[in-house]
């Protein structure tokens, strides 16, 4: 049963601390997305990769957020330093090929709380 | 400026009746539309999609209608079941211009009461 996995599922941290979220896309999927869900903004696209290369990260606050794909089985999203306004659920999704024509498969999300 | 709008944050319907979820978009370049369903503590899952060359797509109890002139789409669920209670996200993409990334609405929470 292929699925996207994310760790940790929940993270509580204090303002100023570094946060790292990890995602394992479905094996064989070559497109990986990071989204953030908040009550106010709904699902916002932060960044996405195709074949491990970043295609668009315009949705991310560049000064504190960074996204990488060290290899095809791992995507990371880092926040340093974290702020209370970063509190949200962060989703990773993967897709095969040009995802606009098909479905994206979402992980269960990481719920981040920054105190 | 929201390009995909779901103006109803919530909707409540009786089991067995029709649920109609609405979505409006502003970008006339969007040519592919999708609906995702999300249960609490889970990620969204794909439900149904429609290309701009069609005005209707049906899959079991779920039908999506697209009105390009009005830049409006809707998801019909007939008959509604308590298990359909979830948040529904509308999404759109401009295949040629965006390389496939989706723009999501804020979601509509559907409650189906027994």
pLDDT given for residue B101 in this prediction: 76
Show residues of chain A in contact with B89, CB under 8 Å. Answer: 42-43
Mean pLDDT to the nearest integer, A61-71? 93
Q: What is the pLDDT of residues A15-64, one digit of tens each?
A: 999 999 999 999 989 889 999 998 777 889 999 898 899 888 888 988 99
Mean pLDDT to the nearest integer, B13-23? 98
Q: What is the pLDDT of residues B57-79, one digit of tens each?
A: 999 999 999 999 999 999 999 99
B27 to chain A, any CB pair closer than 8 A? The answer is no
Mean pLDDT to the nearest integer, B96-107? 77
C-beta of residue A113 within 8 angstroms of C-beta of residue A53: no
**Residue A100 pLDDT exceeds 50:** no
- Which are the contacts of B96, defined by CB distance < 8 A and separation ≥ 6? B29, B31
Give the integer Cα–Cα distance in Å for B21 and B114: 19
How far apart are the CA of A55 and the nearest CA of chain B, in angstroms?
9
pLDDT given for residue A39 in this prediction: 78
Give the integer Cα–Cα distance in Å for A6 and A75: 9
Show residues of chain A in contact with B24, CB under 8 Å. Answer: none
Q: Is the bond preceding A20 in cis, omega lying within 30 degrees of 0?
A: no
First-residue to last-residue Cα distance in chain B: 38
């Amino acid at each position: 049963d292929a699925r996207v996995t994310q760790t940790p599922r929940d993270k509580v941290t204090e303002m100023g601390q570094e946060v790292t979220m990890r995602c394992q896309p479905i094996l064989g999927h070559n497109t990986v997305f990071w989204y953030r869900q908040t009550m106010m903004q709904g699902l916002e696209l932060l960044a996405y990769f195709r074949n491990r290369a970043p295609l668009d990260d315009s949705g991310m606050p560049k000064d504190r957020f960074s996204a990488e794909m060290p290899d095809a089985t791992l995507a990371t999203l880092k926040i340093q330093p974290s702020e209370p306004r970063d509190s949200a659920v962060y989703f990773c999704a993967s897709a095969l090929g040009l995802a606009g024509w098909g479905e994206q498969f979402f992980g269960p999300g990481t719920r981040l709380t920054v105190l | 400026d929201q390009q995909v709008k779901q103006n109803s944050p919530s909707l409540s319907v009786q089991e067995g009746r029709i649920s109609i979820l609405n979505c409006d978009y502003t970008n006339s370049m969007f040519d592919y539309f999708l609906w995702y369903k999300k249960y609490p503590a889970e990620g969204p899952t794909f439900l149904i999609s429609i290309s701009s060359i069609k005005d209707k797509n049906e899959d079991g109890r779920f039908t999506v209608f697209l009105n390009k002139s009005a830049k409006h789409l809707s998801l019909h669920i007939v008959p509604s079941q308590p298990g359909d209670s979830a948040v529904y996200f509308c999404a759109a993409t401009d295949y040629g211009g965006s390389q496939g990334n989706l723009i999501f609405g804020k979601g509509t929470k559907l409650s189906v009461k027994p």
